Amino acid sequence: MTKTLSAPATAAAGTLVYRPDIDGLRAAAVLAVVLFHAFPAALPGGFIGVDVFFVVSGYLITGILLADLDAGQFSLGHFYARRMRRIFPALVVVLLAVYAIGWFTFYGDEYRELGKHIVAGAGFVSNWASWTEAGYFDLAAESKPLLHLWSLGVEEQFYIAWPFVLWAAHKGKRIGWACAVIGLASFTANVALISDHPSSAFYWPITRMWELLAGAALAIGAGQLRPVTRKWANILSAGGALLCLTSFAVLNARAAFPGWWALMPVSGAVALIAAGRDGWINRRVLAHPVPVWLGKISYSLYLWHWPLLSFAFIVAGRTPSPAVRGGLLVIGVALAWLTTAIIERPIRFGPTKRWKLVAPCLLMIGVVYLGGMTYVRGGLGFRKGYSPDADVTTAKLGAGHEFVNAMCGVSPDEQQLFPFCATDKRVRSHFAVWGDSKADALYWGLVRESAPGEGWTLIARPSCAPMADVWRTSSNAGDDPALCRDANSVALRMLLDTPELKTVVLVMTDRDVIGQTFADRDQSRPRPTAALDGLDRAVTALERAGRRVALVLDNPRLRDPRQCMDRRPLAWPFVRYALGVTDMSAAQRCAISYRDHVIRMAPFTALVDELKRRHPALLVYDPASALCDSRRDTCPMTRERQYLYSYGDHLSDYGNELVAKQFLPLLRQ
C-alpha cells in the first residue's frame, strides 16, 4: 500500500483538508514553549517549539495561497482579511487584559514601557522592540509580560511580503526557485550573524524566514514527490519526532541559536508533516483527541501563558514556587479554551459578516491608542501600582535640582563625557564630588544638607572610577574604557585648575575597581593592581595642589528597590497566599546582613587601607555606618517606612540625606 506526500489538499478556496495530526504537532510545540517558560530546567530546549510553529505556519499558509493561485481566486485583500480574523480577536483580548493588570501592578516608568510594548504587539513589531532591549534569555525578560509576541511579529512580517513573492513567482512558474533562493539567503544570514550578533539572529525576520520557507517548500514540492510506502512514512514520522524531542531536551539557552542548531527542530517538523496523517507517530500520538484539542487552542494558550507567569514573577518579586507555576499553566489552558470558544471561533468561522472584520480592527486601533497614550503620558503616574503601605515617593533620587546648574567647569564638548554634571548656583563651589554614578547618588544629599557658603560641584561618569594616568581596559556595564580615560583626564585637570575647590570627595562603587583590568602609562601590559596606582596618583596630584581629599566607600548592595516594594495586588490576601508571599514584607525580604556587606567589600577595603597608608591625610568614610545596624547584623532596604535606595543599589534621596548628615560634620573638621 502506498501513500502520496501530496500538496495540501484543498476543500475550497482559502481552505485545506483538515489534518488532525498537524493540530497535534501544534500542541507539542506549544507545550514545549509553555513548559520551558514555567520549568526551564525540566525542558531546557522548549523554546524551540516556536521554530516548529514557524514550519507548520509556512506549510499551511503557503498551501492556502497556492490553492487560491491555482484556482485563479487569489486576492491579497481576502488573504489579509482571513489573517486578521485569525490573529486579531484573541490578541486584542490578551493585550487588553495585560493593560488592565498592569494598571494595578506597574510603576509609572514600567507602565510607560508596557504601553510601548502593547503598541509593538498590536503592530506586529515586537521582535524589533525586543531586539533593542534585553535578550530573550536575560533576567529582565521575566518582567516583560509581552516578550513572547516577538514570534508573532516575525511571522506576520513574513506574511506581508510572502504573498507578493508567491504571486509573482507563480506567474513565472518559478515558485520553487524563489523559495529556495530566499530560504538559502535567510539561512546564510542566520549563520553569519549568530556569533557576533546573536540577538539579531534571534529576532530579525530575515534570519528566521527560512524556517517558515521550509514549511512552504514542503507545500510547494509535495505534489511533485514520488509516492512513498507506509514504511517510509513511519520512518519519517519517527525520525521527525526524534529530532524534535532531542532538540527540546538537549539544546538550551547557551546554544548559539538559531544558527546551525535550528536545523534539528526544523527538519523534525518538516519530516513529521511530510510523513502524512498515516505516519505511525502522526496517527497514534499526534492525532489523539487530547493533543488535537490542545492544538486547537494552541494560539490562545501561547498568548496567555507568558503574561500569567511574568506578572506572577513581578508581583511576588521572585520566581514563584513550582506549584504556583503549575497552577498558572492550568489557568492559562482554561483561559485559552474560553478565548478560543467564545472569541476566536465565532469570528473566524461561520457566515462571513462585515462586523467580524471591522470590530477586531477597530478594537486593535483602540489598543494602539491606549498603549501610545500611556507611553506618551509617561505611564499615567496618577495610578498606584504599589501597595499603599509603601511610601515609594522616598525611593526617588535627585531632589535639589533647583539649587544647581547643569555645568561643571569644563567646555561644552568636554561636558559630553559627563552625564552627571552640576554646580551649585547659590554660592561659589568650594567642594567637588568626582566619581561614577554613585557620586551622583550621594551628591544630592550633600547639596541639600550643605551649610551656607558650602557650594558643591559634581563631575561624574557612570562605571568610571576616579583615577589618574591609569585607565580601565575591561568592559564594565557597556561603558567605553577610552571614554572613561578621557573623562578622568578632563575631570582632574578641571579640579586642579579651579583653586576655589578646596575639598574633593572621591566616590565609586567597588565593582568599578575590583575584578577589572587596567592599563598604566608606565606599563605595557594591563594589570589588575594598577587600580591602586591610579587612585594613588589622583590623590597625590590633588594633595600637591593643596586640596583636601576624602574617599567614600561603596554603600551596601541590595536588590533593586522595585523588587522590594509590595505591589498593589499583594494588598489582597488571596494574591499573597496564591503566590506564596506570606512570610514577610518585600522590604524585609530584600535586607542583607551587615556581615555579608563587610565580606563583599573586603577586597576594596584592603585597597583603600593601602591608599590610606600612603596618604595619612586622606579621609575615608564608610556609609554603611549610616545605612546599616551592625549590632543587629542587618543592612535594611527601608527605615521608618522610607526607602534607602532608588534604582539598582544607588542611594535614594532619603538614603543620601542620612549619609550626608553623618559625613558632612566629618568633612568640616
| Shared domain check, 538 and 506 | yes
Bridge partners of 420, per DSSP, are 460
Quick: pLDDT tens for 340-352.
999 999 999 878 8
In which band, very low, low, confident or very high, does the pLDDT at 394 lie, cut at 50, 70 and 90?
Answer: very low
pLDDT score for 183 = 96
* The last residue of a domain, from among 353, 377, 401: 377
Is residue 393 scored above 50 in pLDDT? no
DSSP string for residues in 599-610? HHHHHHHHHHHH
Q: Which residue shows C-alpha cell 530560504?
A: 183
Q: Is residue 13 part of a domain?
A: no
Using CB atoms within 10 Å of the CB of residue 253, give its burial: 0 to 12 exposed, 13 to 18 middle, 19+ buried.
middle
Residue 228's pLDDT is: 67
In SS3 terms, 174-242 reads as CHHHHHHHHHHHHHHHHHHHCCCCHHHHHHCHHHCHHHHHHHHHHHHHHHHCCCEEHHHHHHHHHHHHH
Q: What is the mean pLDDT of residues 495-509?
A: 97
pLDDT at 111 over 60: yes
Compute the residue count for the chain: 669
Is residue 79 a part of any domain in this protein? yes
Confidence at 35, pLDDT banded by 50, 70, 90: very high
| Alpha-carbon gap, residue 260 to 431, rounded angstroms | 58
Burial (CB count within 10 angstroms: exposed 0-12, middle 13-18, buried 19+), residue 560: middle
pLDDT score recorded for residue 204: 96
Distance CA(2)–CA(225), nearest Å, equals 13
Backbone angles phi, psi at 520, to 5 degrees: -120, 140
Q: Are residues 357 and 416 in the same domain?
A: no
Structural domain contains residue 20: no
Q: Quick one: 369 and 445 in the same domain?
A: no
329-333, 495-499, 512-516: least confidently modelled range: 512-516
369 plus 414 within the same structural domain: no
From the number of C-beta atoms within 10 Å of its C-beta (0-12, 13-18, 19+), residue 47 rates as buried
Confidence band (pLDDT; 50, 70, 90) for 323?
A: very high
| Residue 479: band (very low, low, confident or very high) from pLDDT cuts 50, 70, 90 | low
Q: Is the pLDDT of residue 584 over 60?
A: no
In a domain, 19, yes or no: no
Classify residue 328: in a domain, yes or no: yes
C-alpha grid cell, residue 61: 499558509
Least confident of 113-127, 232-246, 636-650: 636-650
| Cα distances (Å, whole numbers) of residue 324 to 45, 99, 312, 444, 658 | 22, 22, 9, 42, 40
Q: What is the pLDDT of residue 115?
A: 96
Residue 74 domain boundaries: 29-377
Grid coordinates in use for 215?
514549511
Domain boundary among 351, 377, 403: 377
Over range 62-74, report the average pLDDT: 90
Distance in angstroms (rounded) separating the CA atoms of residues 418 and 561: 25
Highest averaged pLDDT of the listed ranges 122-136, 216-230, 330-344: 330-344
286, 362: one domain: yes
Q: Among 126, 97, 156, 564, which Cα is nearest to 310's?
A: 97
Residues 372 and 410 in one domain: no
pLDDT in tens, 628-638: 999 999 999 98
- Tell me if residue 75 falls in helix, strand or coil: coil
What angle do helix axes 76-105 and 150-171 make, rounded to 10 degrees? 170
3-class SS shares of the chain: helix, strand, coil, % to 5: 60, 10, 30
What is the pLDDT confidence band of residue 41, given thresholds at 50, 70 and 90?
Answer: very high
Give the bridge partners for 479, in sequence order. 476
Number of domains present in the structure of the chain: 2
Percent of the chain at pLDDT > 70 equals 91
Sign of CA dihedral 650, 656, 662, 664: positive
Output the domain CATH number for residue 607.
Answer: 3.40.50.1110
Task: Give the rounded distance of the alpha carbon of 61 from its chain centre.
Answer: 31
DSSP states along 576-619: HHHHT--SS-HHHHT-B-HHHHHHHHHHHHHHHHHHHHH-TT-E
pLDDT of residue 4: 38
Query: Are 366 and 411 in the same domain?
Result: no
308 and 409 belong to one structural domain: no
The answer on pLDDT for 14 being more than 90 is: no
Asked if residue 359 and residue 258 are part of one domain, the reply reads yes
Say yes or no: 66 and 212 in one domain: yes
Residue 212 has pLDDT above 90, yes or no: yes
Q: How confident is the model at residue 585 (pLDDT cuts 50, 70, 90)?
A: low
Residue 389 confidence (pLDDT): 43
| 639 domain residue, yes or no | yes
The model's pLDDT over 243-302, given as tens digits with 9 standing for 90+, comes to 999 999 999 888 889 999 999 999 999 999 999 888 999 999 999 999 999 999 999 999
46-58 pLDDT, tens digit each: 999 999 999 999 9
443 with 355, same domain: the answer is: no
For residue 386, is pLDDT > 70?
Answer: no
Per-residue model confidence (pLDDT) at position 390: 45
Tell me the average pLDDT across 421-448.
96
Of 347, 377, 407, the last residue of a domain is 377
Contact by Cβ (8 Å): 92, 363: yes
Decide if 525 is inside a domain.
Answer: yes
Among residues of the chain, what percentage have pLDDT more than 90? 69
Same domain, 327 and 419: no
Q: How far apart are CA 349 and CA 101, in angstroms?
A: 30
CA-nearest of 386, 408, 430, 320 to 641 is 386
Residue 27 cell numbers, joined:
500542541
Residue 510 pLDDT > 50: yes
Q: Taking residues 89-96, report their average pLDDT.
A: 98
> What confidence category does residue 473 fall into, taking pLDDT thresholds of 50, 70 and 90?
confident
Mean pLDDT of the chain: 89
Structural domain includes residue 10: no
Average pLDDT over residues 324-341: 97
Phi, psi torsion values for 441, nearest 5 degrees: -65, -35
